[in-house]
Homo-oligomer: A and B are copies of this chain.
Amino acid sequence: MEANRAFADDFALGGFDGVARAGVAIITCMDSRIAPLSMLGLSPGDAKIFRNPGGRVTEAALEALVLSVHLLNVNRILVIPHTRCAMASSTEEELRERVGASAGQDAHWQHFHVVRDQKAALADDVRRVRTHPLVPESVAIGGFIYDVDTGLLERLA
């Protein structure tokens, strides 16, 4: 709360309306190594940013994108999973075993939605956005892998 008060003391974003000033929406992973705005040269206010484990285009992501495109000025969508992602380098079973061992109880009931083939998943995710009936043709869509060790984006879809 103290750090937040210091942040608010210098606050300069008040009165802004919440559209994406640069017209960008980003779907990416919750990973702590990802800095979605800086890695794209963007600033606060420029982009809507949806994040979940793996950076997947879920139903919730599609709902978010439809709102972004029609109400929040978005005309470019970037789907950005990343290298060395825990969601793409473990099996469902391994995650359940590791969480269960840490929790001291059987965690097999918990689903984690691991990604078996990251590139195939990305291609599929970009296609889910591209073919959505409420995402117009005029919206540009790209699929990228972010390299957490170099900071570079590689376009794959």
Q: Interface residues of A toward B: which range?
A: 35 or more
Residue of B nearest to A35 (CB): B44
A and B contact pairs by CB, cutoff 8 A, 28 listed: A1-B153, A2-B41, A3-B40, A7-B38, A7-B39, A7-B40, A7-B41, A14-B148, A14-B150, A16-B33, A18-B32, A18-B148, A30-B48, A30-B49, A30-B64, A30-B68, A31-B48, A32-B46, A32-B72, A35-B44, A50-B51, A60-B113, A66-B107, A66-B110, A70-B99, A70-B102, A107-B134, A110-B134
Cβ contacts under 8 Å, A44 to chain B:
32-33, 35, 38
Counting every copy of the chain, the complex holds 2
A44 to B35, CA, bound (A): 7
A41 to B68, CA, bound (A): 28
A61 to B25, CA, bound (A): 19
A4 to B41, CA, bound (A): 6
Cβ contacts under 8 Å, A8 to chain B:
150-152
Q: A7-B38, A67-B99 are in contact. List 5 more A-B contacts (CB 8 A).
A: A1-B153, A7-B151, A16-B148, A33-B44, A38-B44
Cβ contacts under 8 Å, A67 to chain B:
53, 86, 95, 99, 112
Which A45-97 residues sit within 8 Å CB-CB of chain B?
A: 45-53, 58, 60-61, 63-64, 66-68, 70-72, 84, 86, 95
